Chain A
Amino acid sequence: MIKNERQYKVTKSQVDKFEKALLEHAKENGAGSNKHPLLVKAQKDALISQLKDLKEEVEEYERLRSGEQREIATESFDDFLLGLIKSRIALGYSQKKLAEMLGIKEQQVQRYEATEYSSASADRIKEVISALGITVLEKIILPAETGEKLHR
């Protein structure tokens, strides 16, 4: 997932390179190519596949950054942690701005986000939620078989 403008620029430039490579591949492997057709197809598919991954990341970041999204669906706790990063981007706050709001260094926010907040304490996560001004609605579903032993 792209988390800041720097990563966005790096990924965009990678998209350009893969697009160029794909165009070149089509040119080189037109009629008269003596390469094995399976190799030609694999090379093309590999480029397309990588390009698709990169484009999806770029599109997700652009969609978030546009600020049009007002809700972020989370279906798991990991999703929720990722959602903290998505919320920051959707609200138009940079990592630096969030760091300022929390009174910590920008590098610390970058570290939290690089690990999808797995290195942050519960207290810190509460502070992030409060700084962003977001509302989190989480549902906890208990396992189907409840622990008999606990219900004495």
Chain B
Amino acid sequence: MDFDKMDPVLLDFEHPRKAQKEKYLGELFPASANADGFRAFREFFQADRDGYAKGIIIIDLEREEL
């Protein structure tokens, strides 16, 4: 992955990711920081506020034709 070509907006996490949300109507979290980071993000997105399991989907960008 070429980070120098990446839209800097996707690397802007200030004002809780406001710029990302405005431009892409979504947020990008590089969750692979480390094992704990990956687990923290995965568990966060796979649970609702009450801690109950919630589904997520995985899109394999290398396999999907976009």
Residues of A within 8 A of B4 (CB): 38
What's the nearest-Cβ distance from chain A to residue B58, in Å? 18
A45–B17 CA distance with the chains assembled, in angstroms? 10
Chain B interface residue count: which class?
A: 20 to 34
Q: Distance in Å from the Cβ of B30 to the closest Cβ of chain A?
A: 5
A39 at the interface (CB under 8 A from B): yes
Chain A's closest residue to B2 (CB) is: A36
- Number of inter-chain CB pairs below 8 Å: 81
A7 within 8 A of B: yes
> Whole-angstrom distance from the CB of B33 to the nearest CB of chain A?
4
Starting from the known contacts A18-B40, A50-B29, 14 additional A-B residue pairs (CB-CB under 8 Å) come to A6-B50, A7-B49, A11-B49, A17-B36, A17-B40, A20-B36, A20-B40, A21-B33, A41-B11, A42-B11, A42-B30, A46-B30, A49-B17, A50-B40
What are 16 sample pairs from A and B whose C-beta atoms fall under 8 A apart? A6-B50, A14-B40, A18-B37, A20-B36, A21-B36, A21-B37, A21-B39, A24-B33, A24-B35, A24-B37, A25-B37, A28-B34, A43-B32, A43-B37, A46-B29, A50-B29
Residues of B within 8 A of A (CB): 1, 3-4, 6, 10-11, 13-14, 16-17, 29-37, 39-41, 43-44, 47, 49-51
Q: Which residues of A contact B (CB under 8 A)?
A: 2-3, 6-7, 9-11, 14, 17-18, 20-22, 24-25, 28, 36, 38-39, 41-50, 52-53
